[in-house]
A and B are shown apart, each in its own frame.
Chain A
Amino acid sequence: MIRKSFKILIFLSIVIFAFYLRKRDYAQIPIPGQSVDEYSYSWVGLSLIKTGMPIGISGIPGYQNQLSRYINVDRLYQTVSSDPLTINYPWMDHPPLLGLITGGYASLAGANVFEDTTALLIRRPIIIISTISVALLMIFCWLNFNFTSCIISGAIYATTPLVVLSSRMIQAENAIIPCFLTVMICLSLYINKKNDLWLILAGVFSGIATLFKLTGIACYLFVFLSLLYQNGKFNRQFFKDLRFFLLISLPISSMFIFYGLAYGSKNFFTILFSNANRFYGIGPNAIIDLIRNQRLTQHKFLPEIWLIVGWFTFMISSFKEKKNLSSILIYISLISYLIIYIFFGSQPYGWYTFPFWPLLILSLTDFLFNSLQNNQNTLITFFIAIVLLGSNISRVVGIFDFQSISNFWRFTISGIFFILIINQL
């Protein structure tokens, strides 16, 4: 009992620390206005609540009602160079759930007009949602690996600088992440316990994910592939489970259609198809860009070694036979979102890649857990440890200060590599 309470205490400490990091100076960094989407989501929610009409920033061709305006919220024209904003209504770029959360919160906090929706106000709900994501990632690891893995993965996801900064941005991806992680937890429990309740919850959260943004359909793909893995082939049981899952999730996703049709079918379908024909900005180098450039916004990069190493482990796991359910689910989750990412295309902006990040940290945790527990992959594990250690040292120690320990570094690392390769041969 004491042992369990102690574990829960550590778990909660990491979650609280994650919240603290996300909350610290949240209204200053990322710089408000670098992504005006943050305001747009909130304006959609606020205008829906105040007037019943979703009004937001778009620019997608096909809108009948369009106006160009200077809305100087957060004094963005004094801090970030910006053109006038293209306002469209009824705004149908994405489903309105995230807007209703952030705009709804702003409305409750006293916002009445668009200029009231400052970053200080509208980013609060997303910080809570992002903190929930940390807790869910830890729960997945606790259920599927062990408590130590849960703590390690939670600590990495809670403290990785780029993840912390991205977690403050009002982007639909930050709301899709907890849905995706919940679906992963539910599916792992469903496969292990065969209780329909978990499949129902997976369906509910898959449906909710699509109400944040249509890329939430990655949850559907994940469930499809996981059920296929569980059943081994397209057999009767597979179709039975899939049908039940779709009967739960599709009606929730279809709420977006009911919502869109309320403002006229022509407008809704025009924007939907216009969205589908968006510029394929990620280009043919999408994968290398994904691995090499971790972006916060379109032009802000912050190379993040934990994520790069996560891609290493994902690639390694592609070549290895996966023996346990958790490894399979993590692998399928990454593949599912990768398919959606490549299919939807659009721009290589930071937020399109946010959902990869918890999955990459899970992939890294899975690799380290399996390698250490089964005493396998010693050379690769050591290589990964050195990449992580070296990169993190270089963040805090300059190259000139490093010279004092360079001899220790070069002899130790090369020596260990030499011994490990001798053992492998």
Chain B
Amino acid sequence: MNRKKFIFFYLPICLFLGLSIFFTLKNFSKKNFSIEKLKTLTESISSKKDKTDNLCKYQILSEPKVADQYVKINFWCQDQTKARSTLSLNALPDTTIEGILKEYARIINFDYELISQKQWYCLVNDQEILNNNLKQNIKPASTIDCFENKNLYRYDQKEL
């Protein structure tokens, strides 16, 4: 084989390929990438993921190392089951009480409306969550407790 001849044809092909990659990616990303698309990719729920209506079925097994920048979310069900999670506030796009519960619903994949439809009784730092404080930003190191009915208590404590 004539090596010089081979390289003579090979190098321009590689250069063409490299430049094609450069310009194609530059234009393609310019036209197609946006913050909305980034949100869609990272925050959309898979259509194949199982959806639950049992709010005590799944919990988030995580203890984020974020000093006091966390929020604890506990769901207490009538059948004595519970789901206790800790979320990093830094990873939540909306840090209002409503935003946090919506994000939690997205991660677990249940319908956020279930909380109001099934009349869950929710507290933030032992204060009842009502429509007027739903839009309030949460304080760091807060705890949200949601009970399937008002008469329930935290099972790992003696009383509410």
Contacts and interface: CB of A to CB of B under 8 A. Distances in A.
Interface of A: 43, 46-47, 50-53, 55, 67-73, 75, 77-84, 87, 89-90, 112-116, 118, 195-197, 200, 244, 247-248, 251-252, 254-255, 257-259, 261-263
B48 A116 contact: yes
Contact of B21 (A83, A197, A248, A255): A255
A113 B29 contact: no
Interface string B61-74: 11111000000000
A255 to B, nearest CB: 6
B65 to A, nearest CB: 7
Given A51-B37, A69-B43, A196-B3, A262 B26 contact: yes
A191 to B, nearest CB: 16
Given A73-B46, A84-B90, A51 B21 contact: no
Q: Chain B's interface: helix, strand, loop or mixed, by majority?
A: helix
A87 B3 CA distance: 45
Contacts of B58: 75, 78
Given A113-B46, A196-B1, A248 B32 contact: no
B61 A81 contact: yes
B46 A115 contact: yes
Given A114-B42, A251-B10, A262 B29 contact: yes
B91 A244 contact: no
14 contacts: A52-B25, A52-B28, A52-B31, A53-B29, A69-B91, A70-B103, A113-B45, A114-B44, A116-B46, A196-B3, A244-B7, A247-B11, A262-B25, A262-B29
B160 interface: no
Interface in B14-40: 14-15, 17-19, 21-23, 25-34, 37-38, 40
Contact residues on B (Cβ < 8 Å of other chain), bracket: 35 or more
A72 B42 CA distance: 10
Given A72-B49, A112-B44, 5 more contacts: A47-B41, A84-B87, A87-B42, A244-B3, A258-B22
B35 to A, nearest CB: 10
B107 interface: yes
Interface string B137-150: 00000000000000
B59 interface: yes
A200 B31 CA distance: 38
A84 B64 contact: yes
B96 interface: no
A83 B87 CA distance: 9
Contacts of A75: 49, 58
Q: Which of B25, B44, B88 has the most CB of A within 10 A?
A: B25
B44 A50 contact: no
A79 B46 CA distance: 17
Nearest to A241: B3
A51 B29 contact: yes
A31 to B, nearest CB: 12
A82 B63 CA distance: 8
B49 to A, nearest CB: 6
Contacts of B48: 116, 118
Interface in B75-94: 87-88, 90-91
B1 to A, nearest CB: 4
A200 to B, nearest CB: 7
Contact of B33 (A53, A68, A255): A53
A51 B61 CA distance: 31
A197 B1 contact: yes
A257 B18 CA distance: 9
B65 A50 contact: no
Contact of B41 (A83, A114, A262): A114
Q: Which of B28, B64, B107 has the most CB of A within 10 A?
A: B107
9 pairs of A and B residues whose beta carbons are closest in the complex: A52-B29, A84-B91, A251-B14, A52-B28, A115-B46, A262-B25, A258-B18, A113-B44, A68-B91
A55 B41 contact: yes
A71 B63 CA distance: 16
Given A115-B46, A247-B10, A262-B21, A50 B41 contact: yes
A262 B28 CA distance: 10
Contacts of B22: 258-259, 261-262
A77 B45 CA distance: 14
A290 B16 CA distance: 42
Given A81-B61, A84-B90, A263-B29, A69 B42 contact: yes
A69 B45 CA distance: 13
A79 B3 CA distance: 56
A69 B27 CA distance: 27
Contacts of A68: 88, 90-91
B114 interface: no
A244 B6 CA distance: 10
A43 B44 CA distance: 13
Contacts of B18: 251, 254-255, 257-258
